[in-house]
Structure 1
């Protein structure tokens, strides 16, 4: 049996980021899987994303990395709760001084993570084989 193609996306503008945001909608992870490296100016999130593009219910381990990060701020995300599960609802970009701005990750329960970036430099890559899940994310109308 052939393995499904692993997703690899690059975003350099807001339209590209919208594609990545759609692929990441309803991804789940742990607070401990968020890493900010100020000297490297890099923010990394490891998540289990729902494969909306698959014909059956699947999740896959994926890594999202932002480059050119100047500052990161978290609200309602307890850094000490490394095993706390988070569910990503959306990713958005608010332009600032061109080509920079703020990338905001909004999580269920009201938490968010804001990354001030010098420019949009975002990579999303699947890093594992997918696995089956019977739990399809549901949204209220």
Structure 2
């Protein structure tokens, strides 16, 4: 499969991008907020939902990817300890809550109730795979009860 590169400039684009990063795992040590550049970067291992299970090995795919958010003025952690560098977070969704459009809050919501919230000037998000895929036998699942 080719490497994925997506950009989101509105909520519809963001919903597509969010689907591609659902169940990505992110180490707290791989989160960067660069206030001078008004940029936040999240390096993750994303699950390739649009990939197929390899019949020979029984493996699914994960890929190293970077999610970047531009025009970000602040980053707040709710239920996530930024000092716990070894903590691994499972991303559920990336959403946008408008305030005075086009400004708003971009939210990364994690399993277990954690969230990162960015105050943004507008939606300007990019996702890019960083390298080759590797196999995993673990198919993400969620308790919906």
Report the TM-score, using the length of structure 1 for normalisation.
0.95
Specify the alignment match of 1:123 in structure 2. 126
Question: What is the CA-CA distance between 1:66 and the residue it aligns to?
Answer: 0.3
What's the C-alpha RMSD, in Å, of the aligned pairs? 0.8
1:110 has 2:113 as partner: yes
1:49 has 2:52 as partner: no
Which stretches in structure 2 are left out of the alignment for 5+ residues? 54-59
Report the TM-score, using the length of structure 2 for normalisation.
0.92
Task: Provide the C-alpha distance between the structure 2 equivalents of 1:105 and 1:54, rounded to a whole number of angstroms.
Answer: 23
Which stretches in structure 1 are left out of the alignment for 5+ residues? none
Q: Secondary structure at the match of 2:29?
A: helix
Task: Provide the C-alpha distance between the structure 2 equivalents of 1:29 and 1:104, rounded to a whole number of angstroms.
Answer: 15
Question: What is the CA-CA distance between 1:140 and the residue it aligns to?
Answer: 2.7
Task: Provide the C-alpha distance between the structure 1 equivalents of 2:139 and 2:11, rounded to a whole number of angstroms.
Answer: 27
Task: Provide the C-alpha distance between the structure 2 equivalents of 1:99 and 1:86, rounded to a whole number of angstroms.
Answer: 29
Task: Provide the C-alpha distance between the structure 1 equivalents of 2:77 and 2:96, rounded to a whole number of angstroms.
Answer: 16
1:34 has 2:37 as partner: no
